[in-house]
């Protein structure tokens, strides 16, 4: 289950280093790049609203098998893409599959871990999510740098990898005890019923919104920043730098002390520091500063995401687990749509440095507000 989760997330970032090949060939600029990425995130959101919670009724395996079929269709679109329209369709289909996979696979891992395995399951789910995102950019960068046909060969290999993934899902036990007929309907985001639990969940959701705004920036415009502003010409190096954010996030989840993962403050603080440092690297055209900021931001994103998954797993009712995870990932991917599109628009009308500075200030303000809110709530609890 974890391997399939990694593979699905990997597919979401395979195109990231390849925009430098598509853009001159198809004649589009930074705003279209952000639009293509936003369409992916929109597909994730649509999937979370329409399909992700269906697995609570119909079972985890049918939804995961359907998501792999949609991933295959998305990959075929990338292979035959000759214009922006097909890139948009490919990214939207990929987003649909990702939305189903994130909520369904995370819930399945919690159930497969069994009683007492919640911490291990949340670590595995968070690691599969961010680890897969990081691997996608690195693999695509290496293929583009050292192998022929940079916009095709990597997708042929990915299409082949989906075949054993289907087999893996078929032989994995179903974790929903009494599957029922699915009912398709637009769902409203689910929140815990208890007021205190709702506050904890909303705090985690807002924090992951800020973390995924950084992820969205790295998955859309950072390759262009590295190529144009920081003069990084190697596609493999660009893929590695983008993947560094997700790789550090993965390591942070596995190696961070327990008190970091339990704290609502540590993740946002690292995120704020990282955004400030890599923004200074863009202003000063300093690649070392940008890389340093990427490391700090990666730690913040990883700790924030892992804590949010654990909080959601703890608060979710057993029969609505995928439903609450869908709400959590809805908040996460909402963080990639608005800020990324706003940056793409601002980049058209004002200086690139000013545009990224405005985004950095916004992300920092959201992360800081989350920290202050949780600290105030803790103080009130202590006084009571």
Domains in the chain, CATH or no CATH each: 2-173+194-383 (1.20.1250.20)
pLDDT at 375: 45
Contact criterion met (CB below 8 Å) for 129 and 102: yes
pLDDT for residue 382 is more than 70: no
Rg (CA), the chain: 20
Tokens 């800081």 belong to residue: 368
pLDDT tens track for 77-105: 999 999 999 999 999 999 999 988 988 99
pLDDT at 183: 62
Q: Give the whole-angstrom CA distance, residue 359 versus residue 174.
A: 43
pLDDT for residue 155 is more than 60: yes
Residues 300-329, mean pLDDT to the nearest whole number: 84
When pLDDT is cut at 50, 70 and 90, the band that residue 359 belongs to is confident
pLDDT tens track for 44-75: 888 888 886 788 878 889 999 999 999 999 99
Residues 261-267, mean pLDDT to the nearest whole number: 86
The most confident of 179-188, 251-260, 296-305, 332-341, by mean pLDDT: 296-305
pLDDT at 381: 38
pLDDT for residue 12 is more than 70: yes
When pLDDT is cut at 50, 70 and 90, the band that residue 383 belongs to is very low
- Other C-beta atoms closer than 10 Å to the C-beta of 179 total 15
What's the pTM? 0.79
Nearest to 10 by CA among 94, 135, 168: 135
């Amino acid at each position: 289950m974890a391997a399939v989760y990694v593979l699905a997330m990997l597919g979401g970032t395979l195109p990231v280093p390849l925009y430098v090949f598509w853009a001159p060939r198809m004649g589009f600029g930074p705003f279209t790049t952000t639009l293509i990425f936003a369409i992916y995130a929109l597909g994730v959101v649509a999937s979370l609203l329409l399909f992700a919670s269906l697995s609570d009724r119909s079972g985890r395996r049918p939804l995961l098998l359907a998501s792999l079929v949609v991933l295959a269709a998305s990959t075929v679109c990338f292979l035959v893409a000759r214009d922006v329209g097909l890139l948009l369709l490919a990214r939207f289909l990929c987003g649909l599959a990702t939305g189903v996979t994130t909520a369904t696979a995370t819930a399945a891992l919690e159930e497969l871990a069994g009683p007492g395995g919640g911490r291990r399951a949340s670590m595995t789910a968070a690691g599969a999510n961010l680890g897969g995102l990081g691997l996608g950019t690195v693999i695509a960068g290496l293929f583009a740098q050292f192998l022929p046909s940079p916009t095709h060969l990597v997708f042929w290999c990915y299409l082949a990898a989906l075949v054993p993934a289907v087999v893996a899902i078929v032989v994995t036990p179903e974790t929903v005890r009494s599957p029922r007929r699915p009912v398709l309907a637009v769902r409203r985001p689910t929140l815990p019923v208890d007021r205190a639990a709702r506050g904890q969940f909303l705090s985690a959701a807002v924090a992951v919104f800020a973390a995924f705004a950084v992820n969205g920036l790295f998955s859309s415009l950072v390759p262009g920043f590295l190529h144009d502003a920081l003069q990084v010409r190697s596609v493999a190096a660009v893929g590695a730098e983008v993947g560094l954010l997700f790789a550090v996030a993965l390591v942070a989840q596995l190696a961070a002390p327990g008190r970091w993962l339990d704290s609502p403050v540590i993740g946002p603080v690292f995120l704020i520091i990282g955004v400030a440092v890599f923004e200074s690297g863009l202003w000063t055209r300093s690649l070392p500063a940008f890389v340093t900021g990427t490391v700090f931001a990666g730690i913040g994103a990883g700790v924030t995401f892992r804590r949010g998954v654990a909080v959601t797993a703890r608060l979710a009712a057993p029969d609505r687990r995928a439903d609450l995870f869908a709400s959590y990932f809805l908040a996460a991917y909402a963080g990639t749509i608005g800020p990324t599109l706003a940056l793409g628009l601002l980049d058209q009308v004002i200086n690139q440095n000013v545009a990224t500075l405005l985004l950095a200030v916004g992300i920092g303000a959201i992360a800081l507000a989350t920290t202050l809110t949780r600290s105030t709530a803790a103080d009130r609890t202590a006084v009571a």
